Amino acid sequence: MIHYDEKNQIFQIHTKNTSYVIGLADGAYPGHIYYGRKMEDARCGFLMRTEEAPFTPAVCKREKASFADTFSTEYSTWGVGDFRESCLDVRTAEGQRGCELRYQSHRILDEKPQLPGLPSLFAGKSKAQTLELLCTDEVIGLEVVLRYSVFEDSDAIIRSVSVKNKSEKPLALERVLSACLDMDQNGFEMISLHGAWARERGIVRRPVAYGKQSIGSVRGESSHQENPFLALVTPGTNQEMGEVYAMNFVYSGNFLAQAELSQFDRVRMVMGIHPQGFAWHLAPGECFDAPEVVCMYSAEGLGKMTREFHDLYRNHLIRSRYTHQKRPVLINNWEATYFNFNEEKLVAIAKEAAKCGIEMLVMDDGWFGKRNSDNSSLGDWTVDKAKLPNGLHSLVEKVKDCGLKFGIWMEPEMISPDSELYRAHPDWALHLNEREGTQGREQFVLDLSRKEVVDGIYEQISAVIRSADISYVKWDMNRQLTDVGNAVLAPERQGEIYHRYMLGVYEMQERLCHDFPDLLLENCSGGGARFDAGMLYYSPQIWCSDDMDPVERLSIQEGTALVYPLSTMGAHVCDCPNHTTGRTTPFQTRGEVALSGTFGYELDITKIAEEERAQIPGQIAAYHKYNELVREGDYYRIASFRENGVYDCWMSTSKDKKEALVTFVQVFAKPNQKSFHIRLQGLDPNAEYRLEGTENVYSGSLLMYAGILIPREMGDFKSRLLHFNRVC
């Protein structure tokens, strides 16, 4: 998969369908030559344009500035002539900034190394190889390893960067991004996932214009607003056609993702930890590891990119033993009761849920301290005896007696000013000296950059999990980071807190996974503010959004599924009118949209209308029937309500192409609308498929190339499932 052609000084990285080629200009500067369809010819060094003006430093030193400003580098540095976006910016003990990396040596490893303390892709059952380019700046004593890993069964290239101080003096890292991709190409459009609370990850597309266009987060989490995903696509790219260059960050904190079109019509795409608020003090001998970026190229449109990401994450990122298992159908009491519940109420919900086939009760926010609204008790992870007088163990046993498993909500990263914890340890909250803390949802953020805070909170939450038979934890994080400082770290290390905070979160979740291997963990952040590849390393599912309105969910789930597998998308059936939009939709539609995620209910099952409750057993039967297809299958986007304003359609096809499930939603009943014409994807053209519930048999080629008609219905928000089984 990875070769070094010594004669041409060319590194070739091959995946199933793609190639990535690196050269060494003057034998010293790692330059980007090619990324795209598989191409095995190593005689491509001329593409570095080292023969063209302004020539290379070896030929003509006086032109070095213009060389640096045009050269397609593998990793850009600040201070010696590359005026485009820098990935690395280093300040010396004397306060000077400038860095130039020269190739020293390389290694090709037959493995994929893990990054210490960080989420990191793994080889699993596949073969892996890694290219490590060791580069140095001898003047300041810096060593940089550029890493590129590939798996035999994937088109992904996983990049990361480690920076080591080999000098006798400290160095300050002002920024360390994780990946740089310079392309000698113009005309790209960029696709990102934009949103807000309750409308996360909408797909946004815009032309790449001259200058820089970036997305990012400086909120201390990957955020509702932008997701750490960026794709550059050739014009006209759709699901099935066009070239796609995508990057996805395996990180859950601040990030920057940017496309920059330069004076010579070249594009530089970068991704990494956002430099705003970041600084890292690198003492002699210390090393900094920048998180991984997954690079994905597809010559077959966005659909191929999506399916490659889904397979990659299901096989090489998510470690949970639930990844490839059907998750229990849960009922969560948040929208059913909010803070107003007690043991009796929860047991009543569990009893009714059991009758319908629901398999787990999740007790959401409000069970601890004295939390009757969101203004207190975060940090006091002990049961509120007013609500649960017999304690947690007794409640869990009662729920289990109903035949359900038990899950619990926690928000381990937070502290309420009104809490025993805050009264005992006010310094455990992130804070700036002398400055009054900024509250968000009446809470502060715990300083998880500190070991004693991580240990103290972990001790509390693990004690809760040990105290009863708890099968599931919903790990929430309901505000963004402000006042990012503490009185513990030295002044020159204060810029490390954002990243150290993330390392603290990762450490806690790592310990949770290690100590409770059977626990099903679902990450969450005020809905879907931390839906990223970093969290998927610890939890096989993430709460997608607090918005469960199935119409809103169409674009939320479409955007999420552009990158992340359906098996990871937390999706529940809500009550109506919906709590975020006030919209009323058919129970069937709520169920059929949620079926494309992890599936569960978030309503008061003891109070909903009988005709709705009566539909639950059927919905759960559908979940059991289709979940494997949805969870393990190939996802194809057929039509988008976002684009056509009327209907939405997607499908999952099993890997062996023996069955397929199509979900169709007529969002609006347009007057005088004829039947909808859709063309399926991912089937075997030569096979025959029967549409379940009918005698109709169609060839795969008919279904895919000619298509089928779906009758228009009267009324808005109507969904239907079409299940095709291969008959020969």
Residues making contact with ligand GLA (CB under 6 A): 334, 364-365, 409, 476, 478, 524, 526-527, 543, 546
Three-class SS state of 320: coil
CB of 524 to ligand GLA, least distance (A): 5
User: Given the complex with ligand GLA, which of 365 and 558 has the nearer CB atom?
Assistant: 365
Number of helices (H), then strands (E), belonging to the chain: the values are 15, 38
138: alpha, beta or left? (left if phi > 0; alpha if psi -120 to 50): alpha
Pairing outcome for strands 708-710 and 330-332: unpaired
User: Given the complex with ligand GLA, which of 57 and 526 has the nearer CB atom?
Assistant: 526
User: Given the complex with ligand GLA, which of 414 and 457 has the nearer CB atom?
Assistant: 414
Three-class SS state of 207: strand
Q: What is d(CA 256, CA 175) in angstroms, rounded to the nearest whole number?
A: 11
CB of 556 to ligand GLA, least distance (A): 13
Q: Which residue is nearest to ligand GLA (CB)?
A: 365
Calculate ∠ Cα 302-307-630, nearest 5°. Answer: 125
CA dihedral (487, 490, 496, 501) positive or negative: negative
Residues classed as catalytic: 476, 546
CB of 338 to ligand GLA, least distance (A): 8
CB of 364 to ligand GLA, least distance (A): 5
Name which of 334, 331, 367 is nearest 349 in CA terms.
331
Task: Return the H-helix or E-strand segment holding 463.
Answer: helix 451-466
User: Given the complex with ligand GLA, which of 34 and 367 has the nearer CB atom?
Assistant: 367
CB of 626 to ligand GLA, least distance (A): 25
According to DSSP, the residues that pair with 30 across neighbouring strands are: 24
Q: What is d(CA 185, CA 300) in angstroms, rounded to the nearest whole number?
A: 18
User: Given the complex with ligand GLA, which of 476 and 604 has the nearer CB atom?
Assistant: 476
- Strands of 466-611 (E only): list them: 472-475, 520-523, 541-543, 569-570, 573-574, 600-602
CB of 650 to ligand GLA, least distance (A): 24
**48-53: long-range pairs with CB below 8 Å, 24+:** 48/23, 48/72, 50/25, 50/26
User: Given the complex with ligand GLA, which of 408 and 638 has the nearer CB atom?
Assistant: 408
CB of 472 to ligand GLA, least distance (A): 13
36: alpha, beta or left? (left if phi > 0; alpha if psi -120 to 50): left
Three-class SS state of 451: helix
CB of 568 to ligand GLA, least distance (A): 16
User: Given the complex with ligand GLA, which of 183 and 408 has the nearer CB atom?
Assistant: 408
Q: What is d(CA 377, CA 709) in angstroms, rounded to the nearest whole number?
A: 55
CB of 602 to ligand GLA, least distance (A): 8
**DSSP string for 5-45:** ETTTTEEEEE-SSEEEEEEEETTTEEEEEEEEE-------G
Name which of 344, 337, 332 is nearest 388 in CA terms.
344
CB of 582 to ligand GLA, least distance (A): 18
Q: What is d(CA 194, CA 209) in angstroms, rounded to the nearest whole number?
A: 19
Both structure tokens of 611:
């005709």
Cβ burial, residue 274 (10 Å; 0-12/13-18/19+)? buried
User: Given the complex with ligand GLA, which of 271 and 378 has the nearer CB atom?
Assistant: 378
Q: What is d(CA 359, CA 344) in angstroms, rounded to the nearest whole number?
A: 19
Please tell me whether the peptide bond between 577 and the residue prior to it is cis, using omega within 30 degrees of 0.
yes
CB of 197 to ligand GLA, least distance (A): 8
Q: Are the C-beta atoms of 430 and 402 separated by less than 8 Å?
A: no
CB of 339 to ligand GLA, least distance (A): 8
User: Given the complex with ligand GLA, which of 198 and 502 has the nearer CB atom?
Assistant: 198
User: Given the complex with ligand GLA, which of 101 and 198 has the nearer CB atom?
Assistant: 198
Q: Are the C-beta atoms of 511 and 412 separated by less than 8 Å?
A: no
User: Given the complex with ligand GLA, which of 221 and 546 has the nearer CB atom?
Assistant: 546
User: Given the complex with ligand GLA, which of 534 and 570 has the nearer CB atom?
Assistant: 570
Residue 368 sits at φ, ψ, to 5 deg, of -125, 165
* CA 360, chain centre distance (Å): 26
User: Given the complex with ligand GLA, which of 305 and 576 has the nearer CB atom?
Assistant: 576
Q: What is d(CA 332, CA 113) in angstroms, rounded to the nearest whole number?
A: 39
Pairing outcome for strands 102-109 and 444-445: unpaired
Both structure tokens of 64:
């070095």
Q: What is d(CA 300, CA 304) in angstroms, rounded to the nearest whole number?
A: 6
Q: Are the C-beta atoms of 365 and 476 separated by less than 8 Å?
A: yes
CB of 405 to ligand GLA, least distance (A): 18
Name which of 717, 467, 476, 477 is nearest 587 in CA terms.
717
User: How many other C-beta atoms can be found within 10 angstroms of the C-beta atom of residue 125?
Assistant: 9
